[in-house]
Amino acid sequence: MSGATATGPRLGSRRRARRDEEGFDKPRFLRVYSWLVYLYLFVPIAVVVLFSFNSVKSLQSFRGFSLQWYRDFLSDETLRESLFVSLSIAAITMVIATVIGTALAIGLVRARTRWSPAANILMLVPLVTPEIVAGISALLLFSQLGIQLSFWTIVIAHITFSISYVTVVVRGRLASMGDEVEQAAMDLGATRLQAVRLVLVPGLWPAIVAAGLLTFALSFDDFVLSFFTTGEDVQPLPVRIWSAIRFGVSPTINAIGTLMMVVSLTAIVAAVLLPRLFGRRESGIKVLTGQEGG
């Protein structure tokens, strides 16, 4: 009995010590703070989504669920054309920026010269440049060259802005890969180009796909570059929303915003899941953040 009595207090003291350690390592106020931040970030988005299903034309009171505003959006030919233009711009930007950004990443990592550090830093400049500066710069460039603003000026501006994102993602993956397999391929008779095409690119494929889908999402909902480089052609959907919102926010605008968010989230989710679907062991999230090893 005395042993059991002694064991009980010791177990209780150990449990209290464990709780005290967990409380010290994970203060409760941090959990509360984290939830408050999440609420601050996502409640406005949830309100937009909720009122896009409102059965009445009101942004203050919710009377019931309805798909009326989505039907209004899909029945508006102008808005449908803007949606198609945004999807086309994003698709073209994704393909071209991914090809150029991947080639740039390979060159920055594999080309070892005294200029390599400066080139790596220079590649980051577009990422830290305010987007409004990039938009004004593109507008001035097209004006100086006498190029009329159109669908293709938007595409060029988006590609220029997106290349750095692709390069960062692919370079992070490439930097974690050694060049032993490429060297072995060349020892077996492959040329440098064949080693890149048959060995290096397949190894980079998860990062390339993830970077391309991320670029698609960024281009699809971009407003600033589109606003400064759009011409008399059909406006992209973000610019069309801005034009309409100046006359007041309607549930139709909420429906458009919700659909745009769904498209962007679908691209991001695909970027995370596709490496797994391709049979790769890499985590899509780690591929995007450059944390996955070779």
Residue 289: pLDDT band (50, 70, 90) is low
Residue 250 corresponds to which tokens in the numbers above?
């309607």
Displacement of CA 106 from its chain's centroid (Å): 21
Q: What is the mean pLDDT of residues 12-32?
A: 61
Rg (Cα) of the chain, in Å, rounded?
26
In a domain, 59, yes or no: no
The reply to whether 90 and 158 lie within a common domain is yes
How deeply is 130 buried, as exposed, middle or buried, from its count of CB atoms within 10 A (0-12, 13-18, 19+)? Answer: exposed
Instruction: Look at the block and give the residue holding tokens 């509360």.
Output: 32
Please report the pLDDT score of residue 14 as a whole number: 61
Asked if residue 138 and residue 37 are part of one domain, the reply reads no
Task: Kindly state whether residues 102 and 192 are assigned to the same domain.
Answer: yes
| pLDDT classification of 294: cutoffs 50, 70, 90 | very low
State mean pLDDT over 77-100: 93
Shared domain check, 242 and 162: yes
- pLDDT band at 139, cuts 50/70/90? very high
Residue 66 lies in a domain: no
In a domain, 58, yes or no: no
Residue 17 has pLDDT above 60, yes or no: no
The one-letter amino acid code at 173 reads R
Q: Which amino acid is at 182?
A: E
Which range of 66-70, 98-102, 180-184, 204-208 scores highest in mean pLDDT? It is: 98-102
Question: What is the number of structural domains in the chain?
Answer: 2
Angle between helices 77-110 and 151-175 (to 10 degrees): 40
Decide which of 27 and 151 is more confident. Answer: 151
Domain that holds residue 40: 2-51
56 in any annotated domain: no
Q: Report the percent of the chain where pLDDT is more than 70.
A: 83
Shared domain for 249 and 104, answered yes or no, is: yes
215 lies in the same domain as 248: yes
Cα 10 to its chain centre, rounded Å, is: 52
The mean per-residue pLDDT over the stretch 224-230 comes to 93
In a domain, 62, yes or no: no
Choose between 259 and 95: higher pLDDT.
95
**Whole-angstrom Cα distance, residue 91 to residue 97?**
10
- What average pLDDT does the segment 243-268 reach? 82
The pLDDT value recorded for residue 263 is 86
- The whole-number pLDDT of residue 26 equals 59
Structure confidence at residue 241 (pLDDT): 86
27/86 same-domain check? no
Task: Return the pLDDT at 291.
Answer: 55
**175 has a pLDDT exceeding 80:** no
Mean pLDDT of 230-248: 84
Asked if residue 218 is part of any domain, the answer here is yes
In contact, 205 and 277? CB cutoff 8 Å: no
Residue 3 has pLDDT above 60, yes or no: no
Helix (H, G, I), strand (E, B) or coil at 54: strand
Mean pLDDT across the chain: 80
pLDDT (tens digit, 9 = 90+) per residue, 199-214?
777 878 888 888 898 8
More confident site: 3 or 105 = 105
Considering the domain architecture, whether residues 87 and 35 belong to the same structural domain is answered as: no
The most confident of 109-123, 226-240, 276-290, by mean pLDDT? 226-240
Same domain, 138 and 6: no
Residue 101 sits in the same domain as residue 232: yes
Residue 122 corresponds to which tokens in the numbers above? Answer: 């220079």
Same domain, 77 and 209: yes
User: Same domain for 6 and 104?
Assistant: no
Which CATH number belongs to the domain containing residue 85 in this structure?
1.10.3720.10
